[in-house]
Amino acid sequence: MTPTALVVGSLHHDIMVEADHLPRRDETATGRRWYPKFGGKGGNQAVAVARAGVACRMLGAVGTDGFGQFLRERLRAGGVDDRFVATLADVGSGMSVAIQDRSGDYAATIVSGANLRIDAAALQDPALWQDVGLLILQNEVAEDLNLTAATKARSRGVRTLLNAAPARALPEALVPLVDLLVVNAVEAEMMGAGIVADLAGAAAAARLLSDRFGSVIVTAGSLGLAAVTPEDGVFTVAAQKVQAVSSHGAGDAFVGTLGAGLARGTPVRAAVEAASRAAARHVSGGD
């Protein structure tokens, strides 16, 4: 039986706004339409794991509001086990507002809410870890929660994938517990890896970060990605050329599909290539 992937992470009710362009400072831009969307890096990645055919369980939290009900319903509809998603009465659900321009680029603001109140004590429940073969983390929850989750995973012999997004300083104790780091070009730069302007730059950034993390993937949007692993050394994967509809959530589609591949035992390079194709489908509106 394929092991389960466990996602410890965020859930956001996204309010998407479509406009001709992203507003500048002090500008009021006119949008064309808005619509609600299931989101949060944790939730998106969990659904992407399930969509790729691997069982996924999530540890998270929502509020008692309508946003929370929406998020839980969409999580279940996506095939994710939500038994460990708590409903908290004294805090609102996480949410975001994202503005997308005609080219598909976007900018967003998040309000974390319940995501910062996920109870780390739930990580002690053996039922949470039943059949888990991979832990997936992001940076939209409290640092201590990620550290506790990664520590528990290591004690159980479970690999940890950290998508260090959004970028922030990581606790030094977390670094040796990360088996695979995934960052985009901006996050790599913010972690001290230098500017990524092409795949050669992405490869250089991945090599530098691998001194701390071992296995590293640096994604570079429409250019593709570079990776460093002990098994494959340094390699790059060019992005598929597609007609872009929206880049929103493409990174989460990549991470979730990658996690599904790793959970089922696919070699890292093959899992990375499959994840790259999934991200391209997402950008083209194929998901």
Active site residues: 252
Helix, strand, coil share (%) of the chain residues, nearest 5: 40, 30, 30
For tokens 């489908």, the residue is 281
Backbone angles phi, psi at 39, to 5 degrees: -160, -160
200 vs 249: CA distance, rounded Å:
25
Alpha helices by DSSP H, listed for the chain, are 41-51, 66-77, 143-155, 185-188, 199-213, 250-263, 268-283
Backbone angles phi, psi at 271, to 5 degrees: -65, -40
139 vs 146: CA distance, rounded Å:
8
CA distances from 134 to 7, 66, 120 (A): 8, 31, 18
If you ran DSSP here, which 8-state letter would residue 197 be given? -
Q: Which of 159, 177, 154, 44 is nearest to 110 (CA)?
A: 44
DSSP 127-158: GGGTTEEEEEEESSS-HHHHHHHHHHHHHTT-
**Can you say whether the dihedral through the CA atoms of 58, 273, 138, 17 is positive or negative?**
negative
